């Protein structure tokens, strides 16, 4: 019994994360975005019933099918209430709809189509990027307000305000979940790709929960990216490049942290822990991304990530630097400039790298000081330690702080 209870405690959160968004998307497809709250209530009640029923009767043979059946029945119950249907739902249905109370089906194709449509609905250009990510985490990925606040290193009150405004904009939007046309999809595709990209980065470089990596966010971003490449309307070279980038980066996730949650620097990673399967998938999507003449930031970053997964190539840092030179012109950011400087030092040496870094003058960034600490390691130990100390003071991540402190302590033993 104890084993079953533990299994149930692990299974329900897993199912909630995996199925909540799918069920909500399908129901919103029928009710419309204006009545999204009704869809969410039905799905929430479904999981509540699962919690109560499974505790008494045990876990059903097919838990996922059980959830979909209950959700379907609960939806029928809602639609049978004439006053609710007449006053709150009927007006949302198109006048030419053939069936005023359509049958709810959870087929794989309907789930996929509904999720894709919901991605484009959530990524409303009228909302700020941070609001889009918050909304994506809640609606598309099933994250709680507390988990989202954790990911953004802020309080739940702030996240609730962001979600309230973003949801209001979503309800007022006229984006069609039933069958969004090609023009509607193309007008938002850039925003969708950016949101998925930012979602992945939030997981890959997370500062939440004292962990630098949030694998759950990376996994959700990969899932959404895969959905985009599986649909003919969104299977673009940019979408493939983004998915390739996420596959390459994800291939090294297991090697980036030790058992204690501390960061392992790239050069110290156990390459046998890199996922060959994800690297091969990255290669596949990168080839697809290069089928045209377009070169986006996703193409360049995917190329950089590709070379990072080929440790045997002696000229890889030259290739990486060339790609960073293009990327910094196309999409400059302080972190891109710092990463380029690291590659520059790999090609031309630490002393030249230090000159490049000092010209950036990004003294407010912890990463700037940690890079200089790294570059000074073989040149001036005292300066290296001093830069690491400044980096430690500036970072908000306990995991990064611990890694930097360990490196500073190591250098002290060499004095």
pLDDT digits (tens, 9 = 90+) for 161-177: 999 998 888 888 777 67
Structural domain contains residue 9: yes
Domain span holding position 89? 1-93
The predicted model scores a pTM of 0.81
Q: What 3-state DSSP class applies to 257?
A: strand
> What angle do helix axes 108-122 and 215-229 make, rounded to 10 degrees?
110
Structural domain contains residue 324: yes
Final residue in a domain of this structure, among 93, 112, 138: 93
Length of the chain, please?
415
Distance CA(116)–CA(28), nearest Å, equals 12
* CATH number of the domain encompassing residue 389: 1.25.40.10
Q: What pLDDT score was predicted for residue 99?
A: 47
Final residue in a domain of this structure, among 40, 74, 93: 93
Structural domain contains residue 25: yes
Q: What pLDDT score was predicted for residue 102?
A: 58
Distance CA(64)–CA(51), nearest Å, equals 13
Which residues of the chain have a pLDDT value below 50?
1-3, 82, 94-100
How many Cβ atoms are within 10 Å of 143's Cβ, its own excluded? 23
Structural domain contains residue 18: yes
Handedness of CA 232, 226, 127, 23 (dihedral sign): positive
Q: What pLDDT score was predicted for residue 86?
A: 61
Q: What pLDDT score was predicted for residue 95?
A: 46
| Nearest to 384, CA basis, from 347, 358, 411 | 411
Final residue in a domain of this structure, among 35, 70, 93: 93
Q: What pLDDT score was predicted for residue 36?
A: 87
Structural domain contains residue 174: no
Q: What pLDDT score was predicted for residue 70?
A: 93
Instruction: Please count the structural domains in the chain.
Output: 2
How many Cβ atoms are within 10 Å of 388's Cβ, its own excluded? 26
Structural domain contains residue 385: yes
Q: What pLDDT score was predicted for residue 33?
A: 83
Structural domain contains residue 280: no
Q: What pLDDT score was predicted for residue 13?
A: 80
Structural domain contains residue 232: no
The pLDDT tens digits for 341-393 are 999 999 999 999 999 999 999 999 999 999 999 999 999 999 999 999 999 99
Secondary structure, 3-state, 259-285: CCCCECCHHHCCHHHCCHHHHHHHHHH
The CA–CA distances, whole Å, from 155 to 145, 173, 216, 253 equal 9, 28, 20, 27
């Amino acid at each position: 019994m104890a084993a079953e209870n533990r299994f149930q405690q692990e299974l329900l959160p897993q199912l909630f994360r995996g199925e909540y968004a799918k069920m909500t998307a399908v129901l919103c497809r029928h009710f419309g975005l204006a009545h999204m709250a009704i869809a969410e209530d039905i799905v929430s009640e479904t999981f509540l019933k699962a919690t109560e029923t499974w505790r008494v009767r045990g876990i059903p043979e097919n838990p996922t099918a059980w959830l979909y059946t209950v959700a379907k029945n609960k939806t029928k119950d809602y639609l049978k209430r004439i006053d609710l249907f007449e006053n709150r739902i009927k007006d949302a249905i198109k006048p030419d709809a053939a069936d005023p109370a359509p049958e709810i089906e959870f087929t794989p194709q309907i789930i996929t189509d509904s999720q894709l449509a919901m991605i484009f609905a959530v990524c409303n250009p009228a909302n700020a990027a941070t609001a889009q990510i918050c909304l994506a985490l809640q609606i598309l990925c099933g994250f709680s307000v507390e988990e989202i606040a954790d990911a953004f290193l802020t309080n739940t009150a702030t996240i609730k305000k962001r979600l309230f405004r973003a949801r209001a904009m979503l309800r007022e939007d006229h984006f069609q979940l039933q069958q969004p046309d090609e023009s509607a999809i193309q007008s938002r595709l850039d925003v969708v790709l950016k949101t998925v990209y930012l979602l992945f980065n939030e997981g890959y470089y997370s500062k939440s929960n004292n962990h630098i990596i949030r694998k759950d966010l990376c996994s959700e971003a990969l899932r959404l990216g895969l959905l985009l490449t599986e649909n003919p309307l969104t299977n673009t070279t940019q979408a493939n490049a983004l998915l390739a980038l996420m596959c390459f980066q994800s291939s090294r996730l297991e090697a980036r942290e030790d058992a204690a949650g501390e960061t392992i620097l790239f050069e110290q990673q156990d390459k046998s822990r890199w996922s060959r399967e994800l690297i091969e998938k990255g290669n596949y999507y990168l080839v697809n991304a290069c089928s045209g003449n377009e070169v986006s930031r996703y193409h360049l970053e995917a190329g950089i990530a590709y070379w990072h997964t080929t440790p045997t190539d002696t000229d890889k840092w030259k290739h990486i630097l060339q790609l960073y030179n293009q990327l910094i012109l196309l999409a400059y950011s302080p972190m891109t400039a710092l990463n380029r400087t690291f590659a520059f030092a790999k090609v031309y040496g630490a002393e030249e790298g230090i000159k490049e870094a000092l010209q950036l003058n990004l003294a407010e960034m912890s990463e700037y000081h940690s890079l200089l600490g790294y570059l000074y390691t073989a040149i001036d130990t005292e300066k290296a330690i001093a830069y690491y100390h400044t980096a430690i003071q500036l970072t908000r991540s306990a995991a990064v702080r611990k890694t930097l402190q360990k490196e500073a302590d190591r250098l002290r033993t060499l004095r």
